[in-house]
């Protein structure tokens, strides 16, 4: 039996990844987000969001993927301490949203995704 790991396609190129702050989750009293912070990652092919909604049994983990070709808008909402990002598809339903992001990391993520959108 061979052990193989899945690797992204070569066309995907470099990827950027961001996760919500554990300090934000602690301040907001969100134990699940403290244990399992939301992860948002993007490459030239699309954007993926991984969130764990409930940490007791049964596990509830939500993996969402939005291809770059269906991307309509990336909103960067700036807060006093933490920022949030909302990513809308061309259909307009169920945007990908992540709260509690560090300001610098959120800005870099949004700038990179917008650069990929405009290519």
Q: Indicate the number of domains in the chain.
A: 1
> Quick check: is 111 in a domain?
yes
> Quick check: is 103 in a domain?
yes
The 8-class DSSP code of residue 57 comes to S
As a whole number of angstroms, the distance between CA 74 and CA 11 comes to 22
As a whole number of angstroms, the distance between CA 50 and CA 113 comes to 17
Q: What stretches of the chain adopt beta strand conformation (E)? A: 16-19, 39-42, 46-54, 60-67, 71-77, 83-89, 96-101
Residue range(s) defining the domain that contains residue 61: 15-117
* CATH assignment of the domain containing 74: 2.30.29.30
Query: For 11-28, how does the pLDDT look when each residue is reduced to its tens digit (9 = 90+)?
Result: 567 899 999 999 999 999
Read off the pTM: 0.83
Question: Hey, is 103 helix, strand or coil?
Answer: helix
Query: For 75-87, how does the pLDDT look when each residue is reduced to its tens digit (9 = 90+)?
Result: 999 999 999 999 9
> Quick check: is 3 in a domain?
no
């Amino acid at each position: 039996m061979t052990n193989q790991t899945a690797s992204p396609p070569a066309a995907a190129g470099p990827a950027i990844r961001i996760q919500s702050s554990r300090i934000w989750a602690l301040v907001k009293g969100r134990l699940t987000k403290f244990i399992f912070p939301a992860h948002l990652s993007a490459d030239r092919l699309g954007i993926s969001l991984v969130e764990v909604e409930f940490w007791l049994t049964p596990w509830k983990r939500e993996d969402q993927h939005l291809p770059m070709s269906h991307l309509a808008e990336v909103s960067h909402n700036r807060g006093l301490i933490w920022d949030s990002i909302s990513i809308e598809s061309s259909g307009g339903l169920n945007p990908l949203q992540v709260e509690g992001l560090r300001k610098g990391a959120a800005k870099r993520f949004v700038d990179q995704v917008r650069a990929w959108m405009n290519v």
